Structure 1
Amino acid sequence: MTDPRFTASTDATQAPGGPVRQRGARRNAQLAALSLLSTLILTACGGGGGSSDSGDAAAEAERLRRKTTTTTTTSTTPTTTTTPTTTTSTPPTTTGTTSGTGTTTGTGTTTGSSTPAAMTEGLNGIWPPPSRDLSSSPCSSRLVGTRNTYDVGPGQTYTELTQVPWLSLQAGDVVNIYYRATPYKTKVGLRAQGTANAPVYINGVTDASCNRPAISGDGAVTATDAVTNQFGVAAGITGAGVFTIFRLPTDDRDTFVPGYITIQNLKISGARSTYTYKDHNGATQNYWDGAAAIYAVRVAHLSVENCEITDNGNGIFTNSRGTSSVDISSFLIFRRNKIYLNGNPGRSTEHNFYTQGYRVLFEGNDIGQAYGGSSLKDRSSGTVIRYNRVIASARALDLVETEEEYFANIQLDPLNDYGWVYGNVIINDYWQPLGNSARPIHWGFDNTDFRARKNTLFFYGNTYINRSTATSWYYTTVFQIGANDDYLPHPNAAVEASGNIFWNDDGTTEWRFLSNNTNGKVRFRGVNYLPTNRTGDDSLVAGTTTRRYDFTGHTAIQGNAPGINSSTFVPASGSPILDKGILGPTTTPAQATAANLVVDREFTAPLGVKPRVQMGSAMDLGAFELQ
């Protein structure tokens, strides 16, 4: 039976007086989407992270999906008149933190290495890659490429980003962007094809106080080589973002894929529909609603690290349209980024992260709230989300089906139906400026059930906190499996929860693990810390299985005082959660690397990852070990 408090909508967001605000008719939205697909124009990852009415959802799906053409041409070299600062045959190396004037001080923390880990990850069939330590310091230094090195900023060879030959970057090239007091204002096109051993780096060089160089799309001009080569004009994507990754009209549509690109140590903002830029003709244009700081139409082995991403339509957007066998983004790595307040007020279809690709990793990020949409929305295969701090928006984690159109590149991945969420701090807080989420963790599908995630979301070693009172928010949920309107998930779709802390910090808000009466199943394994004021058919009797809950072999520690710090969430001596944790999931699909799915690290503020050192006979429950 349908809960009368939930009605048809594309997704669930909060309402001031109750769990869900209703905004639209799902059936009408589906019919509109089917009508759009019949036009046989290219697809991008659409759908929303929060609710919206059907007209708005269809219009935004149209905007996000259909921004490229299908012309097949032959690849040629783009026109450029610039020359590099440095040519070298050595591997990428650091030269110390600079002051922003081109003078090396040699006193700062370095980033990057001669064999950057992010660029070898996903190779040799290993997924996910091993976790690694990620410094919590934002400091960064100049890099030297194996081919050319371009230095941009005060006192450097190039003073503005417009002068860099972006569209001619090749394997081993490095662009160093030095900090200055005012933001750079240039829209950049990228089509570089690096290699595993010679990736292309877009590298910010912080000042002596470790401030990242800033690039703003607000009032930006288009880079000179993008104007010369008409980058994105024929495809209709000039309003897509600050960094747009695609191909030139002269690159072969069916074979050309940019790849092995790292963007790091930058602050990127200002790709929002309320802001303008100068296009290829010098005319003032507004960005799309779904514009992003980094917008990739297709890319392989993209790494974004130590960036601050804010004040954009989407923070980071990666697409896999499925118009050919190579029209796919793959092996996407996002590490120790601070990403927050992206999205559009009053809308629900833009998010901080909005990713669709063949295997994606989020690690060590500080993921804040988003306007209208979700903190993290993903339509990828083999999704791994580990050691992050996440503040819920319309949703905290929205993990749903791919929206490829013709070629099922992602759907055919054996790991498409699996996801791993572990070692994270996830906070669903009514008192946050943008409110909380009615259904914070979504596993399944938005719109298309035959593409839905059909197996297990492994959820382990996390600390999940709900903050509300019974008078402000009378009940809260954790998981939604399937879709809204009682659309049933696949029979095998489930969440496996083990080694977690679920903390209802006020203790008065009614707790529900599943968002409605019939959909999905949560399998509790090992030990979990659970709130006492739950409702539903979760009897907590070991070995009991109901239509929605399976407690086979499970031990519950029940209470509303897990003995953890209310701000750092680190356990205290004497806490009931000590030495009750687990190392990894109970099972691992054959195509995943079990050794790389163990809880061996933890998030470290303000962002980053450090080793997790077991202090007792076993790991502690939750995301942190006793210090």
Structure 2
Amino acid sequence: MSFLRFSLGAVVWCVCLADIAGAETYQVGPDKPMRHPGHVAWDRLNPGDIVEIHWRPEAYRFKWAISSAGTAEQPIVVRGVRNAKGEAPVIEAGRASTPTGLQFTAPARSVIKIGSTRDSGDTPPAYILIENLNIQGARPENFFLGNDGLTEYATNASAIYVESGNHITIRNCRLHDCGNGLFVAPDAEEVLVEGCDIYENGIVGSVYEHNAYSESTGMIYQFNRFGPLRAGSRGNNLKDRSAGLIVRYNRIEGGNRQLDLVDSQEGMAIRNDSRYHLAQVYGNLLIEHAGPDNNQIVHFGGDSGDDAANRRSLLFYNNTIISTRKDKTVLMRLSTNMQKAEIWNNVIYTNGPGASFAILDETGQANLRGNYLKPGWKKCFGQLKGAVNSMDASEQENPGFADPAHADYQPGAGSVLRDHGVNAPPRTLPVEYEPPGIDRPGIKRPVSGPVDIGCFEGK
């Protein structure tokens, strides 16, 4: 798989800090004032400080925690500086060292932690940007050198662990070969993950580790490429328990489920947030592979056994769903009949016959409008206990993709997808971009007549 940086200027948080009074730029790398990340005083960064870690041929074997707070005007930036080929510096968990004197809880859970340290006080981390790093190897059988000597990583270790903090941005990073690629804990607020490549995480035989696992007050994933998990692992691609969840313009391929969006387990502040009961998923490419994993694309509601805590409403629009299964595929499991999904303007395609695709598992309320489906699709394979209502569907055997043999799912010339979308339901956000491809970043979605069905606009 090839990777390119996220480069959409309209949504990039541009950070120009060279002239901020009092801010420092720390240069790390070969022939730099600091040879490696172990020389950085990570627990004493100030607003506006920048740490630039330059690429080198060998990986940096260091791990650290960031506990300082920046501001909206003076964020703290940890930035990888790529080489001439565009390669990001590698931060390797295996045999990593912790900087002398830096002490923090749960060191076995991460390569980079955003959260408290021994000397951080009561102010949580804030306004932190991590970008352009290739972070790998936080998993059992790998060890690090910390304050307790040589220590093995935990099963749920992650490349980046957001223990606490607000206004945290993770951009253009590669997170792989870990237990969890990313873990965001309930004390986090307003977290943005964009332009990252997250893949080959998970633990063989386990359902509890995922490419990304988040539970935050305010959570946005956009322009990311989520690849298949580690072979033999049973986790989901993206599992989330947040308030204010937005998943948009991502390519999400594989996993036990592509999306597992369930109830908050630990954060009453999350459950009480006004955004908790509405999640928005739009403009994504979701790819389901044949094999032993769950045949459901999305699970929405809850999984903790407390139905009253389940999230209620899902807006699911202008996505393209591709199932390579020839047997049964289910679009959604809505946990109970209290869950409602508005499913508009989606391409819902299977390599199997139309009758091999069902909308719901059994329960929930699904309102479909303006979607593409193969003729013969089913509301449910078993006994439907909820309701499925469909209007204005475009039903044909062939959606007219531009080049499906090479994973180009844009509407081709004469495609039924062109101009056949409908106006989006209330409360939706505008669909302004398209997800990244295998070898290109996301791009601005063209405006050309009525909206096309799916995550791509015909060119």
**TM-score (normalizing by structure 1):** 0.67
Q: 1:550 aligns with which of 384, 389, 395?
A: 389
Offset at 1:133? 5.2
Structure 2 match to 1:612: 445
Structure 2 match to 1:416: 276
Offset at 1:610? 1.5
1:245 aligns with 2:92: no
Structure 1 match to 2:66: 190
Q: Which has the larger radius of gyration?
A: 1
1:477-492 alignment to 2 at 5 Å? 477-482=330-335, 489=336, 491-492=337-338
Structure 2 match to 1:208: 84
Mapped to 1, the partners of 2:189 and 2:111 lie a distance apart of: 21
Q: Does the Cα contact within 8 Å between 1:142 and 1:203 map onto a contact in 2?
A: no
Q: Does the Cα contact within 8 Å between 1:583 and 1:598 map onto a contact in 2?
A: no
What is the SS of the residue equivalent to 2:43? helix
What is the SS of the residue equivalent to 1:297? strand
1:294 aligns with 2:160: yes
The aligned amino acid for 2:272 is L
Distance 1:206 1:395, change over 3 A: same
The aligned amino acid for 2:195 is R
Structure 1 match to 2:220: 361
Structure 2 match to 1:625: 457
Distance 1:547 1:372, change over 3 A: closer
Offset at 1:436? 4.4
Q: Does the Cα contact within 8 Å between 1:149 and 1:175 map onto a contact in 2?
A: yes
What is the SS of the residue equivalent to 1:185? coil
Distance 1:614 1:505, change over 3 A: farther
The aligned amino acid for 1:345 is V
Q: 2:135 aligns with which of 268, 279, 283?
A: 268
Structure 2 match to 1:85: none
What is the SS of the residue equivalent to 2:38? helix
Mapped to 1, the partners of 2:51 and 2:11 lie a distance apart of: 25
The alignment's C-alpha RMSD in Å is: 2.5
Structure 2 match to 1:384: 246
Distance 1:510 1:410, change over 3 A: same
Structure 2 match to 1:468: 325
Q: Is there any run of 5+ residues in structure 1 with no aligned partner, and where? A: 1-108, 118-130, 321-327, 483-488, 539-544, 589-593
Mapped to 1, the partners of 2:49 and 2:6 lie a distance apart of: 16
The aligned amino acid for 2:444 is P
When the two structures are aligned, how many residues end up with a matched partner?
445
Offset at 1:556? 1.2
Q: 1:257 aligns with which of 121, 124, 131?
A: 124
Offset at 1:613? 1.0
What is the SS of the residue equivalent to 1:440? strand
Mapped to 1, the partners of 2:281 and 2:440 lie a distance apart of: 17
Structure 1 match to 2:356: 510
Mapped to 1, the partners of 2:386 and 2:201 lie a distance apart of: 38
1:521 aligns with 2:365: yes
What is the SS of the residue equivalent to 1:410? helix
Q: 1:395 aligns with which of 221, 234, 257?
A: 257
The aligned amino acid for 1:231 is F
Structure 2 match to 1:91: none
Offset at 1:251? 4.1
The aligned amino acid for 1:523 is N
Distance 1:280 1:456, change over 3 A: same
Distance 1:583 1:336, change over 3 A: farther
**TM-score (normalizing by structure 2):** 0.91
Q: Deviations over 1:445-485 (max 9, x none)?
A: 0113245334211000010011022xxxx311110011xxx
Mapped to 1, the partners of 2:265 and 2:214 lie a distance apart of: 11
The aligned amino acid for 2:348 is F
Structure 2 match to 1:341: 200
Offset at 1:145? 7.2
Mapped to 1, the partners of 2:137 and 2:386 lie a distance apart of: 48
Q: Kindly indicate which of the two structures has a greater share of residues assigned to strand.
A: 2
The aligned amino acid for 1:575 is S
Mapped to 2, the partners of 1:134 and 1:569 lie a distance apart of: 26
Offset at 1:111? 8.9
Q: Does the Cα contact within 8 Å between 1:272 and 1:311 map onto a contact in 2?
A: yes
Structure 1 match to 2:43: 167
Mapped to 2, the partners of 1:429 and 1:175 lie a distance apart of: 40
Mapped to 1, the partners of 2:203 and 2:389 lie a distance apart of: 39
Mapped to 1, the partners of 2:17 and 2:35 lie a distance apart of: 17
Offset at 1:170? 1.3
What is the SS of the residue equivalent to 1:158? coil
Offset at 1:560? 2.7
Mapped to 1, the partners of 2:124 and 2:371 lie a distance apart of: 44
Structure of greater relative contact order (alpha carbons < 8 Å, 6+ residues apart) = 1
1:280 aligns with 2:147: yes
The aligned amino acid for 1:480 is R
1:231 aligns with 2:104: yes
Structure 2 match to 1:438: 295
Q: Deviations over 1:147-186 (max 9, x none)?
A: 0110000111000111001010111000000000011000
